[in-house]
Every structure is written in C-alpha cells, then in structure tokens.
A and B are shown apart, each in its own frame.
Chain A
Amino acid sequence: MAEQTPATVVTGNALRSGKVVWLTTSDDWSHEMRAARVFLSTTEAEPALARAQARAGEVVGCYLADVRPTPQGPEPLHFREVFRRDGPSHAARIPA
C-alpha cells in the first residue's frame, strides 16, 4: 500500500496571549483542538497554512501538525502535540 500523507491541522500561538490556537472550519482561531479544521491533503493544507501565516496580527509560528481524524475531532499523532493540546503533564501544585 502506498504511504499516505497524514491529515493535518493548522496550529500556532495567539500573538497577544501566546496561547495555543488551531484554525477552525469557520476560518477562525480556537483554543480547542477538537474545533480544528482537518485537511486531508497537502494541496488543501499548504495554501491554508500560507493564509494563516499571513494573519501575522493574530498568530505567531503557524505550522501544520499531523493528526488522525476521529468522530470526536482530530487526535494528534505526535506526543508533542498532545502536550500542546492538554498543557503540562506534570503533577502540578499550581493553579491552572
């Protein structure tokens, strides 16, 4: 079977707050990964990324992150993206 390019989402950090954001289906930014728009091909994803990067007054450091689409929304393929979605994993004695 030919290797398939994984599905992707566009993600970055909000310019003002620095918080993690995902590009949504309504072309907006959300702090919830499950709201992210999933791109099934690079031909779709790359122009979307370029448009997102041009929104420099809203976001910083946009890139494509690999995901697995599920009925509950996209699931990260790499553990780094899991931490970006869920926040620090360590048992914190700190308020969230």
Chain B
Amino acid sequence: MYAYTDFDTAFLTERNRQFRAQVARRLDGSLTEEEFRPLRLMNGLYLQLHAYMLRVAVPYGSLNPAQLRALADIAERWDRGYGHFTTRQNIQFNWPALTDVPDMLDALAKVGLHAIQTSGNTVRNVTSDHFAGAAADEIADPRPWAELIRQWSTDHPEFQFLPRKFKIAITGSPRDRAVTRAHDIGLRMVTLDGAAGFEVIVGGGLGRTPMLGKVIRSFLPASELLPYLEAILSTYNLLGRRDNKHKARIKIAVHENGLEAVRDLVEARFAEIRPDFDPAVADAELDRIAAQFRVPLRRSVPDTPYSDARAASPVFRAWADTNLHPHRDPGHAIVTISLKAHGASPGDATSAQMRAVADLAERFGYGEIRVSHEQNLVLPHVELGNLPLVWQQLKAHGLATANVGLLSDIIACPGMDYCALATARSIPVAQEIATHFERLKLEHDIGPLKIKISGCINACGHHHVGHIGILGLDRAGVETYQITLGGDGSEDAALGARTGPGFAYDQIVPAIERILQAYLRLREGRDETFLQAYRRLGLSPFQAALYELDSANAA
C-alpha cells in the first residue's frame, strides 16, 4: 500500500502544530467562535447535536493494519470505543472533546492519517471502488490516480475556497461500485486502442437537487488527468454560484449553463494550462505510486479447507455465497465484512472489532483493508484456503453476518441521533427494518436489494440511488418518511421515483413490508430482482400495494 513520503509527514506535522495553536487561542479567548469555526472545519472538526465530531479521511477507502489499530486506539482513548464508517469511505468519531482533538490528530499523523479537507468548500477525500486492485472485472487499479489526485488537491491554493464542497469518485472497473454518476466529478477508466484513459463525468450529485452526472469527455488520456481536472475546477471556481448556497454545486452550474458551454470553457482552460503539466513527470510519479499499490499474491495454502468448509457448514456456505466477491486471481477471494449485524447501527465498529479486522488483514490479507461507501469493511485479497479461519475469527467478533447486498445491508446516515443538520432519525429505521425482516426470515428469499436511508435532504445516505430510498423529514414537528423506488447507484445509475405521501416513524417498517410483499407476489421468479421487477412493472403496482389502493385506483 502507498506510504507517505517525508514531504507528507512534514506537512501533517506542521498542520497539526498550527491547529493545536488555534485551539489554544480559541480556549484563551484570542479567537472568537466565528474566527475559529472555519479553522476547525478545515481540520474536519464539526459541532454536532451532542458533541464535537471528528471526520477522518480514509484516502480512497484504503487502510493498513497499523492505521486501523490507531483508529481503534483513538476511539478507546478519546472517544467511546467505536467509530462510524461513512458513505464517503471516511470514519467519524462522535464524542471527542475539543481539548483532546490536537492529540487525536497527532496520533493519526503517526500512521499517515488526517482530517484535512473532510469538510469545507474544498476537494474532499477522493473515493474509489472498494474492490480496487482486486476485482476480476477491473481494467486497472484506479488508486494510483486517486493518490495522484490526493496529492494535487491537498492544500491546492486555488481550490481552498470553492463555491461549495467538491467530491470526486474514481473507478477502474466497468462495474461501477463507486457511484461515479452521483459525484461532482466521476472518473471511469476506459480503454481506447489499448491505451487506458478516463471517461470524465461532471455535475452529478444527490442532495436537495439530485442529478446524475453527464459525460464531459468520453476519453481522456490517463496522463492528462490532472490538467483536465484542474481545468474543470478552475472553470467551476469562476462559474459556480456564490449567491445561493443551495445552487452553488457544479451540478447547478452545468444545469444552468448547459453541458456544451461548460465543456467549451473547460477545454479552453485545459488548452491554456496543459503546457504547465509535463506528462513525463506525471507518468513518473504515477509509476512510483503504482509500484507501492501492487500486491504480490502468494499461494501458501491449498484450496481444500475452503471446499471442505463449504461442504461441512451451511452457515459458512451462506456467508461465502453472500459476502465473497470474485478476485482477479482464482485462488483468492474478496471478503466483505458486514458492519450491519441485524439491529446494529450501520457502519459502526468497536475498537475490538477494528483490531480483529487489522489482525486478519495482517495474517491473511496482505495487510490491506478497505472501507466501502456502503459502510462495510473489505479484505480485498484472501487466499481461498484461509477463508474458513477468517470466517471463524469474524464470527467471534460479531462480524460474520451473511447479508452483503441483501435487505439488511442498509446504508444509513447518522441522522438525528447525531447530526446537527438532520430532520429525522435514520439509524433506528435501519435497525428496525433489519430486525423485522430477520424475524420474518424473508431476507434471502427477497434477494439482492439496496435500501438507503437519509435523515435530511442533503442525502448523505444516498437515498436517491437506493432501490428503496427512505428520506426522513420534519413535517410540522413530526418525523415523516418519504419513499422512493427504483434508484440505482451502479453503471446503470438512476434516481428513484417518489411514491407519494410520507409515513410516520412507526409506519415506515410496515410500509416497506407492503412494497416487498408486492414484489414477492409480482416477480417472475427468484431470478428477477426487486430492481428488475420494478423496471419491468413501473411504480404503479408498488404504489398500489404501499397505499393499499385497489387496482382500479392504482393508475
């Protein structure tokens, strides 16, 4: 995995020294809260409902065991013994005291982690395919480019005060596991005449005005990535609106000015700045980075323990069928570790669990751990013969729930249990849906299903791209939940359609059950997933079931 250079270490040390002094000046009264707030936000420190919250970047979702152990230690020493993995592949600590944050940042820096640009109107942590470098369906590992983007965007002087925050996602696979079309810029690796490049998508985003990104460049040679990104950011920096926070994202700039006009401006700027970027330098740096991401795969154990365990244990088999994904090497598998035990808070992991995963990564996983935007952890490279041992250890730590990609593998934002912006709760809704269907034993029968829950219109829970999306709102002082159906965050991205009036907190689980009972009645067979059935049938039959209309009124 990529290791920071002396330059990065010195940079972090200096930033942390500055922030420690800023905290001291806030505490001694030299800085007002108005002066301090932007400084703390630049270092990922929010004030939430019950406490401060520190958001730590996990660059493109990759961690090594030392980093995960450091996160576990920080959670235990300065927080409440757990961390919350987010839909942007970050981790949040929900209970730090302001006075402890400088020490927390120093502890992070020791393992090359930080909270810089996890807030504010800057380029945020670049997200990536959580199976990057391991998936069988991949053209190339996108993380060397993601690291190049991290280096370029961190503290970039031109882009510290953008009109609004800016999110970039990158994937090296035609199977989009990074929701690229819901980002300000989405990068999808493609090939042209054997050369790798990127399809560049711009202007996607969820939130109050959900939009899918549009292709601004169908093929960009990989070595021109940085100047082209700089041209987009530079164009947006001038074009983006600063008069209205809700209209400041690049998606609105693209929508209001039109893709063609934005493309012309970007291409003009690109032509202007391209000579300043020497492709040879970028290529050399990319080679240096890429070498560090390469994992020399071994075959140290026979596959037989895996086939034996499959034959002997139906529980192991169920887990393997659900939580494993094909690896590029047939002797390995990608293991998704569910942080969605039925009834658990989606994305939370205790310090003990983090240490257990770090140990497994070290012993069986080439020292690699990933955080997925679906709020799970991933061991991207595990030899088949080691899977039974990995499973045993996961089971011992409550981490072997066989539900990846199923109903209870729910994305949920922190919602009103933590977030100052939330208008309703989302975590307990996720918990109750998961436990309800667990009691009904319907989860495996229902099959692949993505439920995504947000506790406000900012859509951190990606509800617009959930097969079933749930949005919690405050309607006249009462929590109310709107449902959308048919959303999809994959390469066939689609925004969900609203079903109609919302439901009270205690009505949302029965509402979801009516939709899913309708699916079970209407599907053409077990092979037709919920999303496929929805695409075949449209909204009406699900609406009819949801609102208990008779079929004559269903249209």
Contact = CB atoms under 8 A, between A and B. Distances in A.
A34 interface: no
B49 A83 contact: yes
Interface in B77-116: 80-82, 95-99
Contacts of B29: 56-57
B428 A89 contact: yes
A69 B50 CA distance: 23
B80 A90 contact: no
Contact of B52 (A18, A80, A83, A93): A18
Contacts of A89: 417, 425, 428
Given A20-B50, A61-B47, A95-B80, A83 B97 contact: no
A19 B27 contact: no
B221 interface: no
Contacts of A60: 33, 47
Contacts of A91: 343, 428, 431
Contacts of A56: 29, 32-33
B211 interface: no
B375 interface: no
Interface stretch (B1-9, B148-156, B270-278, B344-352): B344-352
B99 A84 contact: no
Interface size band for A:
20 to 34
A92 B345 CA distance: 7
A87 interface: yes
Interface in A47-83: 56-57, 60-61, 77-80, 83
Contacts of B428: 89-91
A60 B48 CA distance: 11
B81 A88 contact: no
A15 interface: yes
Interface in B441-479: 474, 477-479
Nearest to B341: A93
- For the residues of A in contact with B, the DSSP-based class is loop
Nearest to B416: A83
Contacts of B32: 56
B418 interface: yes
Interface string B54-92: 000000000000000000000000001110000000000
Given A18-B97, A79-B479, A89-B425, A94 B82 contact: yes
A16 B99 CA distance: 6
A13 B51 CA distance: 7
A61 to B, nearest CB: 6
A17 interface: yes
Contacts of B47: 13, 18, 60-61
B49 to A, nearest CB: 6
A83 B81 CA distance: 21
A89 B428 CA distance: 7
A80 B473 CA distance: 12
B422 to A, nearest CB: 8
A25 to B, nearest CB: 23
A83 B418 CA distance: 9
B51 A83 contact: no
A22 to B, nearest CB: 13
Contacts of A87: 50
B427 interface: yes
Nearest to A61: B47
B27 A15 contact: yes
A96 interface: yes
Contact of A88 (B99, B417, B477): B417
Max chain B CB contacts within 10 Å: which of A13, A18, A78? A18
Contact of A77 (B97, B345, B477): B477
B420 to A, nearest CB: 9
Contacts of B50: 18-20, 83-84, 87-88
B80 A15 contact: no
Nearest to B343: A91
A20 B51 CA distance: 7
B425 A90 contact: yes
Contacts of B33: 56, 60-61
A18 B51 contact: yes
A87 B52 CA distance: 13
Interface of A: 13, 15-20, 56-57, 60-61, 77-80, 83-84, 87-96
24 contacts: A13-B47, A13-B51, A17-B98, A17-B99, A18-B95, A18-B97, A56-B33, A57-B27, A60-B47, A61-B33, A83-B49, A83-B417, A83-B425, A88-B50, A90-B417, A90-B431, A91-B431, A93-B344, A93-B350, A94-B80, A94-B81, A94-B345, A95-B80, A95-B81
Given A79-B479, A87-B50, 20 more contacts: A15-B98, A16-B27, A18-B51, A18-B95, A18-B98, A20-B49, A56-B32, A79-B416, A80-B49, A88-B50, A88-B418, A90-B425, A90-B427, A91-B428, A92-B345, A93-B345, A93-B350, A94-B80, A94-B81, A95-B81
